[in-house]
Amino acid sequence: MLAALFRTAHVGYVTPLRDGMNLVAKEYVSAQDPENPGVLVLSRFAGAAQELDGALIVNPVDIDGMADALATALEMPLAERQARHRDMMAQLRENNVSVWRDNFMRDLQSANGAGRTASARPRARVGKKTAREIVAS
């Protein structure tokens, strides 16, 4: 049902003040009809803004800028919408979840090998007990 709503939306307006990856933006792009895609308006604070450069990037505290982006999205010619959608889909295919996982695991192993061993890991303390001691009691 959500994918159907995304597919029929002429504009995907995703404007968080702070966010991580923002899968909603990626789902919106993925659900679009390539022949007649909508336009993604995306907060510059969304993690996906670095990846989805075909979106109209806005500052969500700039009301006038957001209004301008909405007008631009609604008036955007079909050829430009198709080109932006094509670019964003290529980016999503290139940086899929498997690529993300592999990069994350490589970075994690690199961080672990950078002088931190399992026994040297810092332990969270609550008062005089570690978190592990609290859970065990």
Which carries the bigger pLDDT value, residue 132 or residue 24?
24
Q: What is the DSSP string of 12-45?
A: EEE--SS-SS-HHHHHHHHHS-TTS--EEEEETT
| pTM across the whole model | 0.75
Structural domains in the chain (count):
1
| Residue 12 maps to a domain | yes
CATH code for position 20: 3.40.50.2000
Contact at 8 Å (CB) between 76 and 82?
no
Span 16-64, pLDDT tens digits: 998 877 789 999 999 999 999 999 999 999 989 989 999 999 999 999 9
Domain that holds residue 20: 2-95
- From residue 41, alpha-carbon distances to 62, 104, 128 in Å are 13, 28, 49
Contact at 8 Å (CB) between 57 and 27?
no
Q: State CA 36 to chain mean position distance.
A: 23
CA distance 45 to 42: 8
Q: Residue 20 has what pLDDT?
A: 77
| Residue 112 maps to a domain | no
> Quick check: 119 pLDDT over 60?
no
Which of 67-71, 94-98, 114-118 has the weakest average pLDDT? 114-118
What confidence category does residue 96 fall into, taking pLDDT thresholds of 50, 70 and 90?
confident
CA distance 109 to 89: 30
